[in-house]
Structures are given as structure tokens and as C-alpha cells.
A and B are shown apart, each in its own frame.
Chain A
Amino acid sequence: MPEIRVTPLGAGQDVGRSCILVSIGGKNVMLDCGMHMGFNDDRRFPDFSYITRNGRLTDFLDCVIISHFHLDHCGALPYFSEMVGYDGPIYMTHPTQAICPILLEDYRKIAVDKKGEANFFTSQMIKDCMKKVVAVHLHQTVQVDDELEIKAYYAGHVLGAAMFQIKVGSESVVYTGDYNMTPDRHLGAAWIDKCRPNLLITESTYATTIRDSKRCRERDFLKKVHEAVERGGKVLIPVFALGRAQELCILLETFWERMNLKAPIYFSTGLTEKANHYYKLFITWTNQKIRKTFVQRNMFEFKHIKAFDRAFADNPGPMVVFATPGMLHAGQSLQIFRKWAGNEKNMVIMPGYCVQGTVGHKILSGQRKLEMEGRQVLEVKMQVEYMSFSAHADAKGIMQLVGQAEPESVLLVHGEAKKMEFLKQKIEQEFRLLPDAKKPRLLHGTLIMKDSNFRLVSSEQALKELGLAEHQLRFTCRVHLHDPRKEQETAMRVYSHLKSVLKEHCVQHLPDGSVTVESILIQAAAHSEDPGTKVLLVSWTYQDEELGSHLTSLLKKGLPQAAS
């Protein structure tokens, strides 16, 4: 049995700080290197001392793989590579490589400039870290070294998100990162071939949820936004700059167009335009429909959505604002939230999952009085809505992926312990018996082991190489047949009978009067005592035993009456 060891340094039974160590076939691979949104102390990064107490990261790890650009999957990367020290290769897809440094820089700015944290990674560190990145294509088999190979599959969670197969010899692990099994307005569905890994490490954010159809959720979302705007309220939608934001923008853009609405839609931070540009240039990573129509109409060019200025927040009248970050834990979305929270006409829509400890998580769990910095208490009167738009697979999707990949075993990560327990049972129920990977075929030969080399050769070849002679084992059976005719005639009757019965075998009548079936010889002889009986001598070698013994039992039944 292959030994595969998995050590989650983060996101074992939790969401955030994804970082999983996998040891397979003597190779050590780190999957993702994320930060935790819920913490502001040491706990926000994975604890790399687990590795470093035994030596340097570079010596221990053969490679690092980043599944997508969300900070809970790549946020600790500069800290890991530049501050703790790792010089080996870091693999990610092209879009991830393009977008990841921007989000890291954004994150750094909030931490250092806004919160004044010291001893954080610098811009230069982000740049140096990105120099260690090797970009991979979808489905490309990347040979990390002579034995270790990795391969990326489309994951559909955000632009450039990928699942990775890690393979050493005949052992393999698939790590899903975050993925989505249903295509949405801008991305396609995750897909993997029947690669039958020994282990599938899958996220399980929505382990117990089976979400209703996307259309219903979209209609619901539009209805809520529309109602709020109609009554003159302001709608805040906290999002991350890339990902859900684009999907919701496409949704609102088409809705505004259709309903001819006039209320302004804003998108905070200068990142938007840049973000949309990434979507335009990496359009091959989006869904079929967008790719097909992009020449005529690029879905990422918005007419109704404009850049947000901080001053707009105090403007009278309705508006919709997309603001970052998505969990209301810092930055512009939190600022706007504080401004608008007191008015019950306003609404905040949380379109994704919120990590424990964030303001987003607090208001979603029903808290209406929030303690802010400086012991201020903020009373939340605005409407709080939750809409699951985050593109994670639900229970059905996870089962689907397990079915696609046909792994030997499944490991659930990136979710909550209780929910995992439920999903575990479900997977065990449904996939108890996995079919065997290969179709075996029976082959006869001799295995020669020489100088730790194995060779399978034909038996003849083996005897020859060993200088042994073959020992021939032959059987001759006497079959008594009631037949008063001459021997030659008996032989003739045997021949025509066998010829008609054994259509798939070569039956011959030889000049010397004997009959052969393949290499089996049949001769007719007179009985020494009874002239009315003939003796058939059926002779075959051990190698033809099956046919030989079949023939004797066939002949024992006698010959059909001649049709003369």
C-alpha cells in the first residue's frame, strides 16, 4: 500500500488559512499557503515552524502549489517565501499569477497603512516571491523533478482557479482547492477526468447544503436589490474585487438594462477596471457563452457600473455599491457599512461565506449591536441579507466530483467539522465499492528476476535461458466404440463427426488414416477380442489437456448414425 501522509497546517476542519502538507512517494508538497481573515495575530498565518524546526523549508519541500488567488489560499505566500525563507518552485495558473500579487499588495496596504502593523511583508517581498512562481497551463503535465509530476484541472471557483493532481510513480493525490460544479454567469464548471487518485482532498465548505437552482437565487437577489432601491434605500454589497463581483456586476448590468433603472451602481476601489481587464484578457478561462460572444460583445465592459468615490456615500437617494473586502473585516466596505448601518431603509447583502470573527460573520449570525474600535457601539438597523453566491460546490457537487475522479479514499478539508461528519457518511454510503482501476488480462509466461531487473518472457524462452530441457507429458486414452466397420471407415466417421461439431477448431484427416484436432491425434484400432468394437486412441500433451479431455468425453458419447 502506498503511504501518503497529509498534514493540514490550516483549513483542516476550518475555513481560512488553507495550507496542507502532503508527503507522497518520498516527495513533500505544500498545497496552498493562505491567511486567516478572522485573526490579526500570529494565527493569521499557518505555523511553518512545524517544518522549520527540522530544517529549512527549501530542503524539505519539493514544491508549493497555489490553487487560486483568494487570500485564504495565497495570503501567506510572501511571508512564507521571503520571511521564513523558501526558494523552491511555486506553481500556479497564469491568471492566478497575474492577479495574486495585486491582491497581496492590497492586503498588505490594509494591514500596514490602515492598521499600522509592523513586521509585515513588504511590496518588494511580494515581487521577489512572485519571481519564484512557475505558471502552468490547464492539463499540462509539469515534471517538477524526475519523479514528481503535477497537472492542473479547471476548478471554476474564480478566474484561474485550478484543482491539482500530484503524482509520484503510480501514487497520486488530487487537491481540489475551492471549486464549483455548476457553471455560473461568468465561469464554467469544474471538471476532472477519471484519474483514480489514491486520495482526493476536497474542500467541503457547503458539505451539508444542497442549494436550490441558481436562477432562483439570482431572481431573489435582484428582487431584494430592486425593492431597496425603489424605496430609496442604499444597498451595500461587500465583495472581493475579483470573482463574485464580476458575476454580480453582469447580473445587475443586464437587469438595469432590461428594467431601465436609473439608480447609480458603483464599484469601489480602482481595482475594478483593472480586474475587468484581467477578465477580458483571460477570457479563455470564463464560461462557454462569454467566450463565444466576446468578439461581438465583451461581457466585462459595463455601461451602468461606475467607479465609486468616497464622497458618494453621503449622496442622497438610492444607490448600489459594490465594496471590498467581502467579509466586512476592514477597508472600504466596512467604512460604508458604518455609515449606512443606522438607517433601516438601507440594506447590506452578503453574497458569500464569512469567516468567524469578521463583522460579516457577526451580523449574519444575528448580532445587531457591534462593538467597534474605541469601544464604540454600532447599532445595525439596516436590513441584513445573506445570499449564497460564493462559488463552492455544494454536497451534490462534491459527490459529483468524487464520482468523476473515482478516488480510493477521500479527505475532507476547508469546512466545518460537524458538516464534514455528515458528508463523510454520505460519501461512504454512496461510494463503498470502487471498481478496480485496470482491466486485468491473463497472460502466461515466466518472470525472470536478475540484477533487480524483472522481465516476463515466454516459457520456452525461460527454459532456454536457464538451460533446461522441456519434459513432455503426454496422455493417450482408449475410447471404446461400438462399430463393426473397418478401422478406416471408423476414422472417417470420427472425422466427419468432429468436423461438424468442432467448427472453431482445425480438424484434419491425415493420409495415414488418423484424425487430428489441432495437435490432438486420434487413431482407430481394432479391438483384440471383440470385432464389433473399435478402440480409438486419443493422444494429447499436457498443454492441450482441456481440449483433449473434452474430446474423449465427446467421443465416449458415441458417433451419430451414418445417414446412409
Chain B
Amino acid sequence: MKLYCLSGHPTLPCNVLKFKSTTIMLDCGLDMTSTLNFLPLPLVQSPRLSNLPGWSLKDGNAFLDKELKECSGHVFVDSVPEFCLPETELIDLSTVDVILISNYHCMMALPYITEHTGFTGTVYATEPTVQIGRLLMEELVNFIERVPKAQSASLWKNKDIQRLLPSPLKDAVEVSTWRRCYTMQEVNSALSKIQLVGYSQKIELFGAVQVTPLSSGYALGSSNWIIQSHYEKVSYVSGSSLLTTHPQPMDQASLKNSDVLVLTGLTQIPTANPDGMVGEFCSNLALTVRNGGNVLVPCYPSGVIYDLLECLYQYIDSAGLSNIPFYFISPVANSSLEFSQIFAEWLCHNKQTKVYLPEPPFPHAELIQTNKLKHYPSLHGDFSSDFRQPCVVFTGHPSLRFGDVVHFMELWGKSSLNTVIFTEPDFSYLEALAPYQPLAMKCIYCPIDTRLNFIQVSKLLKEVQPLHVVCPEQYTQPPPAQSHRMDLMIDCQPPAMSYRRAEVLALPFKRRYEKIEIMPEPPPRPTQPTGGKKRKRASDDIPDCKVLKPLLSGSIPVEQFVQALEKHGFSDIKVEDTAKGHIVLLQEAETLIQIEEDSTHIICDNDEMLRVRLRDLVLKFLQKF
């Protein structure tokens, strides 16, 4: 049993598990932090961005100035943004049988895998994961395709040149494998390979392995997976949460008794308390708006935004914000808000009960009805005529490299009245802001990451008691910025096995038993295995050596054996004693039978009939195993 680790990003994992002759890919996360190295894609021509100076080497050589631009001491690639794919060379991805998706953030690399590696298997995911995953992909494709950029830089990727570049470009990994965004056509084709599953559904893979998704409590339809045979159990925990937000709570009990527990997708901000962050978010938002400023919230179109809107729903009246317009701008804003209301079965108990009334489970329905929250596909069209300031705008992309958010950064960045509040934990906010420097607007960092922290992990591990824990290497040491915090790492016995990108781990357990069903009758001889190979006629009559004969045990009593021979019509039998046993001579048949304690040797002419008769007589005295 082996684990192939294709991604180095601990919250956007991509691993392949080989287990009992099945090849199972666990998630296919897309590392989008690579886009931080690129210049933002503005919706309308931005004089500031297009006038940034080109970057030249220390010796003044400026041959890269078309590709690289400098902004406030940072260097950016002026090109269509590219993403860092999972390893595609470590294992032949066309041999992957199934892909298990744990949540909609961890499937963003799916089109690269299913469309370009010869993959012919099935993808399993829950319905909300697929629907919201589709929205995220649709948004991404839309953001990138609506501002076509002629330039695609590649010179800087040359290994010899990359060495000369300043950090972080110099240290960027695997730049040669970075790829541009997929198309909607590829997205649709990839999603068509998904088969929908429900929590606790047992899915048989080739009768060898059973996989089961379990609620992980992190997002709508998010799941952990159990991969098990009759005697072995591997748990794959990815992006789980024990906090009560909108999704169904995490199913912990079913993770018990695992031989191996693969643990990924812990919180990226282990020191921040999500509840505190939400409070800070609300108060900063109120403060800015009261002072006449605008608030920009870079976000994904689904997920935490539902919780933020719910908090604001409770907060705005008491904070006197009822006249402030809230805008949600995304090509999939409407779909996301609508979809959130129809997944009753995947929601926490409170929200489920609302549906039974029947009422919409999320209060943003009411915010929309009362016109407090308005949504637009983009800032063109209706939005421009409705737009009132001061206001609060939720829009993507959280990397600040593409999407409508780029426009608002340019528009509001110069005024210190305005605030940008970062709630998504996936991107370093300082790096995200770098190409917009110098900035006058306030920047508040309130990352809300509801995934497990290390205290919760150690409690969980104590509870479910896996024999072995496997996790990304980042979790086996404290974060580099807080190297003294020994509590910010996984602590378990035996110590967790760690993996890094492009590594292959042999998982520490042997398969000892297999469950089988025994039939009273031997099955009919199988027809020639259909391997697709045509066998030659000449070899057709070569016997199948795989027909197994039993082992024999016991010994042959010579006297009785001779009697049996006589009874079966052999005459002229002579018995000689030897050191170890006897020799029985059948003179007429020119046959000699050596009988010893643990062996019998029949030496005869090439007479098959005779040989078989003798054989059957010998076998009568022996036990078969």
C-alpha cells in the first residue's frame, strides 16, 4: 500500500492511494498562490498598471522588461496568470481508477487531471460539492476569459534566468509545469465524469474496496472518506470543522479503528479564533461605513460568505446600517445564493428545521427581498446605475489578481476612508496587496478559517485512535513564523509520518487476511482468460498449470498396498526391503514403485493408463491438503 503525494499545499491536497489493486486519487486541489506572482488583470485599462516600469537585472540588462514589471520594490510577471498543478509525472495518471473529492475547494484541478492525462475512471463527490464546485470554476474561467491578455510570458521560466530573479519569483517551484486556466468546455467535460454520492453511502470499487463519504462539517456537502476492505481501513480526513456553522456537523465516530488516517486541510491560521474574527469583521465594517467610507470584501462566491451575510443580517439593524447597500458581485452570485437554499439535507440541524416550516434556511433570502443585499453578475450593466456609496461590496477573487475586485482596489485604494477586509485565508494579504502599493485605504486582516486547529486535532486523534497518522510535512513542525509555538503541530504517538510534494510513502501495514465466500461446488472451469491477447492455436492444448493439485501427507502401508494392487489385477508382484523403505516391483509391467516414509516414486514406461491407475491406488492411502 502506497501513497503518492502530488501536491505540496497542505490545504489543497492531491494524493494517490494504491490499495488492494485499486488506484484512488484523494482530492485534486489547485494551488492558486502562484497567481500572486502575476500582475492583476484589470477590467478596464489601468494607466497605473500599464505604466509600471519594466524590471532589469542588476547589470542593467533589460531583456526581461516586457515580461517582468516592478511595483513598489516587488517584481511581477506581466502575463496571463498561471496555476501550479499537482505533479503529473510521479505516477501514470491514466491508471487512476477513481477520484474522491472532499470539498469544492479541493477539486479545482479536476479538468487538468481528467482531460489531459488519459484518465478514464470515475469521480465521486456529493451534489453540493459538484454544484458549488462548478460555480467556483465558472467564476474563475469567467474572470480570466473576459479580459483576454495577449501576452503570455515564458522567458522568465527558463531555469538559468529564474535563478537571477528576486524572491519570491526565484523560489517559485515547478514553474515549468504552471498552466493557464482551463476552458468552460473542459470544466463541463470534467464535471460530467462525476458520480453523485450521499453521506454514508457505501460505494464498491471492483468488489475489492469500499469507499464511503462522511460529513466533515466544513462546507456544504464537504466530506471525509473511508477507504476500507474487510480487514483494513484508511481514513482520509480533509478540510473538517467542529464549529457549528451552516453545514451538517462532522461525523467523527465513523473514523474510529483506522489503520491509517491521512490528515490534510487543517486551519491555515491556527492562532485566529473564527468567532473573534467575525466580530472584528463586523465592527471594522461598521466603523468604516459610519465614517462615510466603502468596504471591500474579497471573497469566494460560496462558503464563508453565507455565514458573513447571516451575521450581518443580525448585526445591521442594531449597528444602524440598515440604509447601507450591500453588493455581491460575481458571475455566479445569483446561482450561489439560490443554490445555498436548496441543500436542506446537507445543512446543520437548525437550518434543516427551517426548511420543514417551510422557510428558506439562510436569512440572505430576506436580505434580498428587502433590497438590503443586491447581487450582480459584474460591475457592468445594472450595477453601475444602482451603485450608491458608501457601501459594502463582496466580490472575487481573493487573490486580488483577477475579477471585479481589481477594479474596486484601483477605485478605492487612494482614499483612507475606505477599507479592504480580508476574510479568506488562502492568500497572504500582504502579497495580495503588493501590486497595489502604495495604498491609502485601510487593510484589515480577519481570516476566517473554520477548519480544525491543532487542539481539536489532538482531541480528535485521541478519540478515534488511528494506528498511524500521515500528514503533510508542514504539520509536523511549528509554522516558520512562529517556530517557538510547539503547540502548533501535530502531536501523536507513534509520530505522524509526513510527506512532501513528489514523494512516495509506503504505508506501514501489511494485508494479512481476505474475506472470501466458499461455494460447495467447484466452479466450472473458466474459459480462457480474456486478456485481449490472441493465443496461438499450437499452444491451445498446453494444459493450464494454474490448476492446483493438493499437497499430500501420510504414509503408505506396504502390505495393504500390495493387496490393493492384487485386487486391481496386478500379478507377479515382488517386494524388496531397502534402507529407508520398500521397493515394489511389477515385473510384467516393468514398473518399479519406491515407497518411503515421506515419499513415493513410480517409475514406469510411458503408459498413461497404467500410470493413472497406479496413481489412484497410491492416493487412496494418502491425505490431501
Q: A442 and B526: CB pair below 8 A?
A: yes
Could you tell me the distance in whole angstroms from the C-beta of B541 to the nearest C-beta in chain A?
A: 8
Inter-chain contacts of A281 with B (CB < 8 A): 341-342, 344, 355, 358, 360-361
**A140 in the interface (beta carbon within 8 A):** yes
Answer whether A504 and B542 are a contact pair too, CB < 8 Å, given A471-B555, A473-B599, A474-B601. Answer: yes
Q: Cα distance A495–B325 when bound, in Å?
A: 92
Inter-chain contacts of A478 with B (CB < 8 A): 603-606
Which of B341, B358, B544 touches A98 (beta carbons < 8 Å)?
B358
Answer whether A140 and B551 are a contact pair too, CB < 8 Å, given A503-B539, A549-B611. Answer: no
Which of A151, A446, A477 touches B606 (beta carbons < 8 Å)?
A477
Q: Cα distance A500–B14 when bound, in Å?
A: 49
**A547 in the interface (beta carbon within 8 A):** yes
Answer whether A469 and B343 are a contact pair too, CB < 8 Å, given A446-B625, A503-B539. Answer: no
Contact digits for A538-561, partner B, Cβ 8 Å, 1 yes 0 no: 100011111101101101100000
Which chain B residues (568-625) contact chain A, with CB distance < 8 Å?
597-608, 611, 615, 618-619, 622-623, 625
Could you tell me the distance in whole angstroms from the C-beta of B580 to the nearest C-beta in chain A?
A: 13
Q: Cα distance A501–B552 when bound, in Å?
A: 31
Interface centre among B202, B356, B536 (most CB of A within 10 A): B356
**A306 in the interface (beta carbon within 8 A):** no
**A39 in the interface (beta carbon within 8 A):** no
Inter-chain contacts of B606 with A (CB < 8 A): 477-480, 538, 552, 555-556
Inter-chain contacts of B200 with A (CB < 8 A): 137, 140-142
Q: B343 and A284: CB pair below 8 A?
A: yes
Number of residues of chain A lying within 8 A (CB) of chain B: 66
Answer whether A459 and B618 are a contact pair too, CB < 8 Å, given A295-B334, A475-B602. Answer: no
- A225-233, A460-468, A485-493 - the one binding chain B: A460-468
Q: B542 and A94: CB pair below 8 A?
A: no
- B67-75, B90-98, B447-455, B514-522 - the one binding chain A: B514-522
Q: Cα distance A545–B504 when bound, in Å?
A: 44
Q: B549 and A97: CB pair below 8 A?
A: no
Looking at chain A's contact residues, the main secondary structure is mixed
Contact digits for B358-401, partner A, Cβ 8 Å, 1 yes 0 no: 10110000000000000000000000000000000000000000
Contact digits for A386-424, partner B, Cβ 8 Å, 1 yes 0 no: 000000000000000000000000000000000000000
Interface centre among A442, A503, A518 (most CB of B within 10 A): A442
Answer whether A546 and B544 are a contact pair too, CB < 8 Å, given A94-B345, A442-B522, A478-B604. Answer: yes
Give the residue name and chain of the A residue nearest to B547 (CB).
Answer: A546
Inter-chain contacts of B598 with A (CB < 8 A): 469-472
Q: Cα distance A468–B622 when bound, in Å?
A: 12
Inter-chain contacts of A462 with B (CB < 8 A): 625
Inter-chain contacts of B334 with A (CB < 8 A): 295
**A120 in the interface (beta carbon within 8 A):** no
Inter-chain contacts of A471 with B (CB < 8 A): 552-556, 598-600, 622
Inter-chain contacts of B543 with A (CB < 8 A): 546-547, 550
Q: A518 and B545: CB pair below 8 A?
A: yes
**A138 in the interface (beta carbon within 8 A):** yes
Q: A444 and B542: CB pair below 8 A?
A: no
Could you tell me the distance in whole angstroms from the C-beta of A550 to the nearest C-beta in chain B?
A: 5
**A502 in the interface (beta carbon within 8 A):** yes
**B478 in the interface (beta carbon within 8 A):** no
Q: Cα distance A501–B541 when bound, in Å?
A: 11
Inter-chain contacts of B199 with A (CB < 8 A): 137, 140
Total CB contacts across the A-B interface at under 8 A: 175
**B335 in the interface (beta carbon within 8 A):** yes
Inter-chain contacts of B355 with A (CB < 8 A): 94, 98, 281-282
Which chain A residues (251-281) contact chain B, with CB distance < 8 Å?
274, 277-278, 280-281
Could you tell me the distance in whole angstroms from the C-beta of A452 to the nearest C-beta in chain B?
A: 16
Q: A470 and B553: CB pair below 8 A?
A: yes
Inter-chain contacts of B618 with A (CB < 8 A): 473
Q: Cα distance A143–B552 when bound, in Å?
A: 46
Answer whether A442 and B523 are a contact pair too, CB < 8 Å, given A137-B345, A274-B358. Answer: yes
Inter-chain contacts of B544 with A (CB < 8 A): 546
Q: B599 and A472: CB pair below 8 A?
A: yes
Which of A475, A502, A538, A543 touches B549 (beta carbons < 8 Å)?
A543
Contact digits for A134-173, partner B, Cβ 8 Å, 1 yes 0 no: 0101111110000000010000000000000000000000
Looking at chain B's contact residues, the main secondary structure is loop
- Chain B's interface size range is 35 or more
Q: B358 and A278: CB pair below 8 A?
A: yes
Which chain B residues (500-535) contact chain A, with CB distance < 8 Å?
516-519, 522-523, 526
Inter-chain contacts of B127 with A (CB < 8 A): 284
Which chain A residues (428-455) contact chain B, with CB distance < 8 Å?
438, 440-444, 446-447
Inter-chain contacts of A141 with B (CB < 8 A): 200-202, 212
Q: Cα distance A104–B358 when bound, in Å?
A: 16
Give the residue name and chain of the B residue nearest to A469 (CB).
Answer: B598
**B430 in the interface (beta carbon within 8 A):** no
Interface centre among A282, A284, A468, A547 (most CB of B within 10 A): A284
**A174 in the interface (beta carbon within 8 A):** no
Give the residue name and chain of the A residue nearest to B621 (CB).
Answer: A471
Q: Cα distance A477–B522 when bound, in Å?
A: 31
Q: Cα distance A555–B605 when bound, in Å?
A: 13
Contact digits for B153-191, partner A, Cβ 8 Å, 1 yes 0 no: 000000000000000000000000000000000000000
**B222 in the interface (beta carbon within 8 A):** no
Inter-chain contacts of A283 with B (CB < 8 A): 342
Inter-chain contacts of A295 with B (CB < 8 A): 334-335, 338-339
Inter-chain contacts of A383 with B (CB < 8 A): none
Answer whether A475 and B611 are a contact pair too, CB < 8 Å, given A470-B553, A550-B543. Answer: yes
Q: A473 and B553: CB pair below 8 A?
A: no
Inter-chain contacts of A504 with B (CB < 8 A): 539, 542
Could you tell me the distance in whole angstroms from the C-beta of B393 to the nearest C-beta in chain A?
A: 22
**B198 in the interface (beta carbon within 8 A):** yes
Give the residue name and chain of the B residue nearest to A286 (CB).
Answer: B342
Q: A470 and B545: CB pair below 8 A?
A: no
Q: A476 and B602: CB pair below 8 A?
A: yes
**B197 in the interface (beta carbon within 8 A):** yes
Q: Cα distance A284–B360 when bound, in Å?
A: 14
**A51 in the interface (beta carbon within 8 A):** no
Which of A282, A473, A552 touches B344 (beta carbons < 8 Å)?
A282
Inter-chain contacts of A135 with B (CB < 8 A): 345, 352
Q: A473 and B345: CB pair below 8 A?
A: no
**A307 in the interface (beta carbon within 8 A):** no
Q: B542 and A502: CB pair below 8 A?
A: yes
Could you tell me the distance in whole angstroms from the C-beta of B69 to the nearest C-beta in chain A?
A: 40
**A456 in the interface (beta carbon within 8 A):** yes
Known contacts A281-B344, A281-B355, A475-B601; 8 additional CB pairs below 8 A are: A139-B201, A438-B517, A441-B526, A443-B516, A473-B602, A474-B600, A478-B606, A546-B547
Could you give 15 example pairs across A and B, Cβ below 8 Å?
A98-B358, A440-B519, A443-B516, A470-B552, A470-B553, A470-B598, A471-B555, A472-B598, A473-B600, A475-B601, A475-B602, A475-B603, A476-B604, A477-B606, A503-B536
For the complex of A and B, the 10 pairs showing the least CB-CB separation, nearest first, are A444-B548, A440-B523, A546-B543, A459-B551, A137-B198, A139-B201, A459-B625, A472-B599, A98-B356, A139-B198
